[in-house]
Each structure stands twice: as structure tokens, then as C-alpha cells.
Amino acid sequence: MSPSIRRQAIIIVATLATAYVASHFFRAANVTIGLDLMRDLGIGPEALGALTGAFFFGFSAMQIPCGFLFDRYGPRRTVTGMLVVAVIGATLFTLAPAWPQLLAGRALMGAGFGVMLIGSMVVISRWFPPDRFATLAGIVLSVGLLGNLLATTPLAWGTGEIGWRGVFGIMVVFTALTALAVWTIVRDAPPGHPFLERKTETPAEMMRGLGEVLKNPQLKFILALNFCNYACTFTVQGLWGGPFLREVHGLSRVESGNVLLVAVIAYQIGMLTISPLDRVFDTRKRIAITGTLLIAAILATLALWANAPLWVAMAAIVGIGFLSASSTMVMTHGRGTFPDRLIGRGIATMNTSVMLGVACMQSLSGVIVGAFPPLPDGARSEEAYRSLFGFMVVVLLVAVTIYSRSRDVRPSDELRARQAALKP
């Protein structure tokens, strides 16, 4: 790769990572303003869970269609068009007078932002060698997590100053500007890449390609952990972590936001630390299993330790934040099982599993927490949260058991295959 091409590739990936910030902000905002939404709209935990999950239902619904669009039209046009949809959804959410409009706006946001991770991964796959995929994907996710940072203490402070609608309005403008930047800067593939000379597939050929993806014998094992890992960690980090700290441990909105802020920073550190480990240890499967089991152990501690001190709850949430990065290794493992011509549809299928898992877990979590009667002050009891954490432990252990049957895809094997393909 020439220096000029490398610079262009870095600028393109940086542009997509910047746009990804808005996705993370909007998906995570409810963990900070959830109790405010419940109070302002007069809704309970079940409705909050459904509202939060709507983002991920919209997100997952667009994964397979966007996989087709990526393989047919490329990341530039697909990402730009869907970011426009996200801007429309975010605007509707910001201006919504009641819960139904909030629900519709959040679903549209999820659908629009659903392209960001796939688009970034497709671009990385085409601009960089495969042994750099996990590292660069981790960097994109780490930059995107700045949106999670904004959704913690800054959102809590901004909500107190100008209200959550004012903060959301600022982020709507930011999202519109990133859509313009993607259209201007991003290119689908480097000069000479086969994608640029491809023969456009017919709809029938595209469906056969999806069939090839779904027939992948390793896919079902990988999807099991894809469905559960991020779903459990983000249900803590993106929905109930804040209310848990406020209702069980008595923290204020800003104080709980500070803890969540540290957890997001830990997530970013985890991305930069865990993502390159596949090249260090030449494995992806074992890293994904180890990270998931450690998450399960932390959740089990919260579930089994009644009246745990505040420092335990804070350390647990920060620890889960760090280990959440293991979900990227599952995606990297899955990506290695697909040829380049099926990258868009393959990653889209895996991401459908990830986001559908989040949507289901967040919706179900509201039912679990809501099944416990509120205390006299309206807060939920520690038992409600401990039951939720215990449920997630069981889910993760079952998922790891299924995933353990998959075949590892080692970076060294991919590198040898690439070198063999380049030989005349």
C-alpha cells in the first residue's frame, strides 16, 4: 500500500468513525435520562425498556437490506442515505410530544444508524489487510464510544442546563454534518480493487449470496454468542446501569453519569487492548470465550451479593465496560468465515443477530424489573435488579456453551491465504 493510499484509507476510516459517534450517543442516552423520561412521560419500566429496545429493533431490521445495499451500491451511498434517515428519526424524537412519537423516532434512528458498523467494517476489509481488521475495527468502535461518553456526565449536565431535548437538538445537527462528510470523503474501495470492476449482481444472485451466508456451517455457533454477549453488557451499560446506581445506591443523575463515564472510558481502553490480542495469541475464539465468562462472573457477583457496597457496584459496571470489547472479537471471528464478495451480507447477518439480541434483552429486561412492585418512593428494589443480573448470567453461559462448538479462524491462517492469493 502506497503512502498516499494509506493516508486516504486512514482519513476515510476516521470519517466513518466520527459519524459513528452519533450512533453511540443516541443508543446509550436512555441510561442517563431514563428516569427523566419515565417521570416526564408517566411511563413505567416496561415502556422504558420497549422505548430503548425500539432503537435496536429498527437497527436489526435494516441489517440484511443494508448488506444487499453495501454489496450492490457500496458504503458511500448506503451510509449517506441511511444517515439522512437517522437525522429524520432523531428530529422526530427530539420534538416528540408523547411516547408513541418517541417510539417511532427511536426506531427510525436505529434503522438509520444500523449501517454504521457494517459500513466501517466493509471499508476496512477493502482498504486494509485482514490481519489489521480487528485492530482497526476496535479503533472505530473506540472513537464511536465518544458518543457513549457524551451520553453520560455531559448529557446529565446538559439535561440540567437546557433539557434533554436541547442536547438532542445539538446532536441532530452533528449527525447531519457527518452525513455530508461521508458523502464527500468516503470511497468504496482503493484503486484497482475488484469491487470497483465487479459485475453488478441481479436480485436473484444477491439472494443466492445470502443463502450462501446462511448455509455457512459455522454461522449458527457464532450467532449464538453474537446474540447474547453485547445484549447483556449493553443492557447494563445502555439502560439499567444508571437507574441501578440511582435507585439502589442513592447516586444523583450526575454522580451515576460519572460512573458510566468511567465505564465507557474502560470500554474504549478495552477496545484498544483486546482487539489486537488475536494477533498476539493467534486466536479469536478463546479470547471471545474468556471475555464472556468474565462478564458472567461479574454479573453473578451483582446477582448473588445482597446489599453489596457501592464500590462493588461501581467496579462491576466499569469492569463490564472494559470486557464489553470482547464482543468485537466474536464479530471478527465471524467475518473471517466469509469471502470478500459476501462481506456485506455476512457482516450484516451477524450484526442482525447482535442488535436483535439487544432489542430482545432490553425489552425483556423491562418486564423483569417491572415484575417487582415499586418501593414507596417509586424506586425499584435491589431484588429486581439482582434478578435481572442473574438472568443474564444464565443467558451468557448457554451462549458460550453453543459458541464453543465453532471452529477458530486464526489471523496467521488468513495471512497465509492472502499471501498465497497474491502470488502470480
The pLDDT tens digits along the chain (424 residues) read 677 788 888 888 889 999 999 998 998 887 778 777 777 777 777 777 777 778 878 887 887 787 777 777 888 889 999 999 999 999 998 888 877 888 899 999 999 998 887 788 888 877 787 667 767 877 887 788 788 888 878 888 888 888 888 999 999 999 999 999 999 998 877 776 666 666 666 667 777 777 888 888 888 899 999 899 989 998 888 778 888 998 889 888 788 888 988 988 898 888 888 878 887 888 888 999 999 999 999 999 999 998 899 999 999 999 999 998 888 888 888 877 777 667 767 877 887 888 788 888 888 888 898 888 888 877 788 999 999 999 999 999 999 999 999 888 777 766 665 655 555 5
> What's the CA gap between 135 and 141, in Å, rounded?
10
Torsion, CA 261, CA 263, CA 267, CA 273, rounded to 10: 110
C-alpha cell at 313: 457496584
207 CB neighbour count, 10 Å cutoff: 13
DSSP of 219-281:
HHHHHHHHHHHHHHHHHIIIIIHHHHHHHTT---HHHHHHHHHHHHHHHHHHHHHHTTHHHHH
Give 286-348 as a 3 state SS string. Answer: HHHHHHHHHHHHHHHHHHHCCCCCHHHHHHHHHHHHHHCCHHHHHHHHHHCCCCHHHHHHHHH
Q: Sign of dihedral through CA atoms 358, 362, 365, 369?
A: positive
pLDDT tens digits, residue range 3-53?
778 888 888 888 999 999 999 899 888 777 877 777 777 777 777 777 777
The confidence score (pLDDT) of residue 141 equals: 77
> What's the CA gap between 83 and 62, in Å, rounded?
12
Residues belonging to the chain = 424
The confidence score (pLDDT) of residue 134 equals: 67
> What's the CA gap between 126 and 191, in Å, rounded?
10
Query: Could you tell me the fold of the domain covering 3-422?
Result: Growth Hormone; Chain: A; (1.20.1250)
